[in-house]
Chains A and B, each alone.
Chain A
Amino acid sequence: MNTQNNILEALGKLKEHLMPFTDHRPIMIGIHSGGVWVAEKLHSQLNLKDPLGTIDISFYRDDFSRVGLNPTVRGTHLPTSIEDRHIILVDDVLHTGRTVRAALNELFAYGRPLSVTLAVLLERDGRELPIQADIAGIHMSLGSEHYVKLTGPEPLALTLLEP
């Protein structure tokens, strides 16, 4: 479905909307795995001062008792204290909202940020929690039987998984 042009366009849109935020010296944090790939692109384009942070939500998943411990936990690495800082949280696809819920919980285990802004490459329908993106590169309506997946990191590509 999606060519790399769509992704470039979406990244351009995210960059444009995030530019005004850079005055607040935000810390950018990507959610493993796809969110980190997107965040890497944005981070270099926005010339942010603090290094990119990464977050792994494995310990905060709400389906742990059903699917078990993720065998490839990559861990959370935050470059500096998030206390009283503005955070830009980046993910690839916003679908149910459960990943973002888990990421917020993980984030708050490290401190109390001043604000969290959610930026996603693609937002789609199917939310199960009251969580919305502040900035989204692509909007898509898919229906509950379809899934969309970002592959990467080079090149980034969106794949639609048929039921």
Chain B
Amino acid sequence: MTDTDIQFDKSGTLRHFLTVEGLPRDILISILDSAETFLGLGQREIKKVPLLQGKTVVNLFFEPSTRTRTTFEIAAKRLSADVITLETSRMSTTKGETILDTLNTLEAMHTDMFVIRDSFSGAAHLISTHVPAHVSIINAGDGRHAHPTQAMLDAFTIRRHKGDFSNLRVAIIGDILHSRVARSQIHALNILGVPEIRVIAPQTLLPNQIKRLGVHPYYDIEKGLDGVDVIIVLRLQLERMEGQLIPSDREYFRFYGLTPERLSGARPDALIMHPGPINRGLEIASSVADGEQSVILEQVTNGIAVRMAIMATLMGRQSPSPREAD
């Protein structure tokens, strides 16, 4: 079964959120529209709404994370769910087994939703094939494969500033090779109708087959940034690099760092985005990260609203009760 098929339940309603690849545009739009309403809750005296009252959400993070983990936790809490967050490491050699053992234990506590991050590509998919019918899975990042909620919050941030997607040029700069964020962003932006997506990176950090995803590769950052509306800078994932993919930090910044001079080649109202955490002076200059065009912190705030929208969408389906499941 493909990721796309497994994401829907028998009645054709979205049950898991593992990847944006293959999802229809109307589902993505409806998530963005709901997120818009959830964003308003942040301004209220009482920021909680009772949509997930009585539901139990477990955040399972087998890989360290700060903003994704905390924004998922806040999102679930603002929906009135009971939330447990486990951040743990596990032995990489027994991946499949340990993850299912952990899961079974937590499932015995009548969990309704798992939010899963793992360094193993396909972890969330694997788990989704082993849970009872009333349980939903959200992928919070699996290896190099996908990070669909990040892609949705980025799309949401772009739409809030640019109105719609149909006339945009979006450039993604950096470590495309190791980036599940880039992969999910490319799928989401394609589905949402962005006409031109560019990826800018040294050849060593661009997968060979990247053109198949419908993007335009650039090895020259000045050319790649010319006239773009949105610039997404990726974090250089030094911890995932095996072997010498970049000559040195200084070299990388010299050729691919986003500096004020390079930014001037983009449209004057171009947005600067970054999924965080930022390596200042490595992939982006501090003055750009903190500059007027930067929406990096807004991405964090938007992440809460988008994750609330995704959780509410999955939990609001006509779910069988645990007793009648399967």
Contact = CB atoms under 8 A, between A and B. Distances in A.
Given A59-B51, A73-B37, A75-B37, A65 B316 contact: yes
B37 A60 contact: no
Which of the listed residues B30, B51, B318 has the most CB atoms from chain A within 10 Å of its own CB? B51
Main secondary structure of the interface of A (DSSP, over half): loop
Interface string B30-57: 1001101100110011101111000000
A147 interface: no
A111 B13 CA distance: 36
A69 B49 contact: no
Nearest to B52: A64
A62 to B, nearest CB: 9
A110 interface: yes
Given A59-B50, A69-B34, A73-B37, A64 B45 contact: no
A110 B315 CA distance: 25
B293 interface: no
A111 B44 CA distance: 9
A65 B136 CA distance: 14
A44 to B, nearest CB: 26
A153 B51 CA distance: 29
A65 B315 CA distance: 7
Nearest to A111: B45
A66 interface: yes
A23 B207 CA distance: 71
Contacts of B34: 69, 71, 73
Q: How large, as a class, is the contact surface on chain B?
A: 20 to 34
B321 to A, nearest CB: 9
Contacts of A72: 33
Contact of A69 (B48, B50, B312, B319): B312
Interface string A64-94: 1111110111111000000000000000000
Contacts of B316: 64-65, 67-69
Nearest to B47: A109
B28 to A, nearest CB: 13
A65 B44 contact: no
A68 B316 CA distance: 4
A69 B45 contact: no
A149 B40 CA distance: 29
Given A65-B319, A66-B318, A68-B316, A110 B44 contact: yes
Interface residues of A, number: 20
A109 B48 CA distance: 8
B73 to A, nearest CB: 19
Interface string B42-79: 00111011110000000000000000000000000000
Given A68-B317, A109-B44, A60 B49 contact: yes
Contacts of A67: 316, 318
A59 B44 contact: no
Given A60-B50, A109-B46, A110-B45, A69 B318 contact: no
A108 B49 CA distance: 11
A5 B202 CA distance: 73
Contacts of B37: 56, 58-59, 73-75
Given A64-B316, A75-B37, A75-B40, A69 B46 contact: no
Contacts of A105: 50
A110 B48 CA distance: 11
Contacts of A73: 33-34, 37
B50 A71 contact: no
Contacts of A110: 44-46
Nearest to B50: A60
Nearest to B80: A59
Contacts of A65: 315-316, 319
B313 interface: yes
B324 to A, nearest CB: 14
Contacts of B48: 109
Contacts of A76: 40
Interface of A: 56, 58-60, 64-69, 71-76, 105, 109-111
17 contacts: A58-B37, A59-B49, A60-B50, A64-B51, A64-B316, A65-B319, A68-B13, A68-B318, A69-B51, A69-B316, A71-B34, A73-B33, A75-B36, A105-B50, A109-B46, A109-B48, A110-B45
